[in-house]
A and B are shown apart, each in its own frame.
Chain A
Amino acid sequence: MRLRSLVRAVWAFLMPALFAPALLMPAVGRAADAIIVGGKIFTESYILGEIAAQSIAAQSSVPVERKLGMGSTGILFEALKSGAIDVYPDYTGTLAEAILKQPQLKSVDEIRRALIPVDLVISAPLGFNDTYAIAVKDSFATEHQLRTISDLRRVQSTLRAAFSYEFMDRKDGYPGMVDNYQLHMDSQKVTRMEHSLSFQAIDDNAVDLIDVYSTDAKIKKFNLRLLEDDRGYFPVYQAVWVARKAFVDKHPQEWQILRKLEGSISETAMQDMNAQADIQKQSFAKVAAQFLGATAPDAESGAQKIWQRTREHLWLVGVSLLFSLMVGIPLGIIAVRFHAAGQGILIVSALVQTIPSLALLCFLIPVFGVGTKPALAALCLYSLLPVVLNTFTGVRGVDPRHLENARAFGLNRRQVLLRIVLPLASPTMLAGIKTATIVSIGTATLAALVGAGGYGAPIVSGLSLNDIPTILTGAIPAALMALIAHAMFEWLGWALIPAGLRKNQ
Chain B
Amino acid sequence: MLILQNISKTFESRPALTDVNVRVAEGATHALIGSSGSGKTTLLRITLGLIPMDKGYVKLNEQPLSSFTPAQWADRIGYVPQDGGLFPHISGRNNVSLIAKLRGWDRDKIDARIEELGNLVDLDAGVLARFPSELSGGQKQRVAIMRAAMMDPDVMLLDEPMAALDPLIRRSLQQELKSIFQRLEKTVLLVTHDLGEAAFLAERITLLHDGKVVQSGSFGELLHHPADAFVTSFINAQRGVPDAASVAA
Contacts and interface: CB of A to CB of B under 8 A. Distances in A.
B71 interface: yes
- Among A405, A409, A424, A499, residue most surrounded by chain B Cβ atoms (within 10 Å): A409
B50 A501 contact: no
B134 interface: yes
Given A404-B50, A500-B131, A409 B88 contact: no
Interface string B131-150: 11110000000000001000
B74 interface: yes
A290 B202 CA distance: 100
B85 interface: yes
Contacts of B163: none
Contacts of B85: 401-402, 405
A171 interface: no
A412 B74 CA distance: 11
Interface string A393-410: 000000001101111111
A420 B94 CA distance: 12
B28 interface: no
Interface residues of A, number: 23
Contacts of B147: 409
B81 A415 contact: no
A251 interface: no
B234 interface: no
A163 B183 CA distance: 86
Interface in A424-451: 424
B105 interface: no
Nearest to B75: A410
A285 B48 CA distance: 77
B89 interface: yes
A405 B134 CA distance: 20
Contacts of A420: 87
A279 interface: no
B223 interface: no
A501 B79 contact: no
Interface string A466-505: 0000000000000000000000000000000011110110
B91 interface: yes
Contacts of A404: 50
A376 B81 CA distance: 48
A92 B48 CA distance: 79
Nearest to B72: A410
B64 interface: no
A423 B102 contact: no
A193 interface: no
Contact of B89 (A409, A412, A415, A500): A500
A407 B134 CA distance: 25
B41 to A, nearest CB: 11
A504 B133 CA distance: 7
B88 A408 contact: no
B71 A410 contact: yes
Contact of B70 (A1, A412, A424, A504): A412
B237 interface: no
B152 to A, nearest CB: 14
Interface in B83-126: 85, 87-91, 98-99, 102
Contact of B50 (A407, A411, A499): A407
A410 B76 CA distance: 10
Contact of B81 (A401, A412, A500): A401
Nearest to A425: B89
A407 B70 contact: yes
B90 A498 contact: yes
B238 to A, nearest CB: 26
Given A401-B81, A404-B50, A415-B102, A424 B89 contact: yes
Contacts of B48: 408
B71 to A, nearest CB: 4
Nearest to A497: B89
Contact of B71 (A412, A423, A424): A412
B159 to A, nearest CB: 10
B66 to A, nearest CB: 15
Interface string A413-426: 00100011001100
Contacts of B73: 410
Interface in B5-20: none
Shortest 4 CB-CB contacts between residues of A and residues of B = A410-B74, A498-B89, A500-B131, A410-B71
Interface of B: 48-50, 70-75, 79, 81-82, 85, 87-91, 98-99, 102, 131-134, 147
Given A410-B70, A500-B87, A500-B89, 10 more contacts: A1-B91, A402-B85, A405-B81, A408-B50, A410-B71, A419-B102, A420-B87, A424-B88, A499-B89, A501-B89
13 contacts: A402-B85, A402-B87, A405-B79, A405-B81, A408-B49, A409-B147, A410-B74, A410-B99, A419-B98, A423-B89, A423-B90, A499-B131, A500-B91
